[in-house]
Amino acid sequence: MSGVLLRETLIFTIARLLEGVRMVAVGAASPVPAAGAMLRRALDENERQVRLSVLGSVKHNFFTNGSAELFDAAGQGRLDAFFLGGGQIDGQANVNLVGVGDYPASTVRWPGSFGSAYLYFTVPKVILFREEHSRRVLVDQVDFISAPGVSPAGVYRPGGPVALLTSKGLFRFDKERPGFMLDSVHPGHTAADIAEATGFAYDCPANPPETPLPDAAELTLLRGRVLDELSETYPAFAADWRRDLAAFAA
């Protein structure tokens, strides 16, 4: 992959998607989005201050009252970007965090929706991130809607999805259509790979471009400052990253 690890491609792509933000929050168990936000902060430090809140971090969290303060910031329009995943995501950008099957008799149960619907409605740049790219995750229609991707006309909704990032590619979300369009394909994959692994319909250009990779200076930031900062909250992820780099260089 031209000297760049997959996780570094994903982190760099998130940093690109966050261009222009001033405040971004990252939820639990989200090392890749956290690293992407840290890279954005590092890239912008000479032009603007990017305020970053990483749930579970002491050093990289300016909130002092947990989720209550996060929801206040979102409701007041101060939070520019947030990340959502999901056990299922469909072509309308609906997210399922509850389980598989007809609720409440779900055959598989997940942790639950928490504040996903509220944040989906209030944060203007919500990035959907799910590393697994398969038809069991990217489905035609979710079994349960924890957070809807679009709303009927007349519903006040300043927030919503802008993109979906997976291990295979990047999709942009068109709120007018509404639906996804394949924006780029990660190195090592093809548009045909993505079509075979995706359970919902989406627009696709004739020759989708390859996902941009970080340059030498951006890689230096990633493997130095960002990796060091991430170690405070995600030590196991950072250790795996360092092992991958060592194996890659061997």
| CA dist., res. 109 & res. 71, Å (int) | 25
Residue 110, class by beta-carbon neighbours within 10 Å (0-12 exposed, 13-18 middle, 19+ buried)?
middle
| CA dist., res. 13 & res. 36, Å (int) | 7
Strand partners for 169: 185
pTM strictly above 0.85: yes
Count of Cβ atoms closer than 10 Å to residue 192 Cβ: 9
State the pLDDT at residue 105.
87
Query: Over its length of 250 residues, how does the chain's per-residue pLDDT go in tens digits?
Result: 458 999 999 999 999 999 999 999 999 889 999 999 999 999 999 998 999 999 889 899 888 777 889 999 999 999 999 999 999 999 999 999 999 999 888 999 998 898 999 999 999 999 999 999 999 999 999 999 999 999 999 999 999 999 999 999 999 999 999 999 999 999 999 999 999 999 999 999 999 999 999 999 999 999 999 999 999 999 999 999 999 999 988 7
Express each pLDDT in 66-78 by its tens digit.
788 999 999 999 9
Residue among 139, 93, 138, 101 at smallest CA distance from 117: 93
| CA dist., res. 125 & res. 77, Å (int) | 11
125 neighbors 162 (Cβ within 8 angstroms): yes
CA of 226: how far to CAs of 76, 128, 167, 229, in Å? 29, 21, 20, 5
| CA dist., res. 51 & res. 115, Å (int) | 21
37 neighbors 64 (Cβ within 8 angstroms): no
Edge-to-edge strand ranges of the sheet holding 138-139: 95-96, 88-90, 138-139
For residue 24, the number of C-alpha atoms closer than 13 Å in the C-beta half-sphere is 28
The domains of the chain, with CATH numbers, are 6-244 (3.40.1080.10)
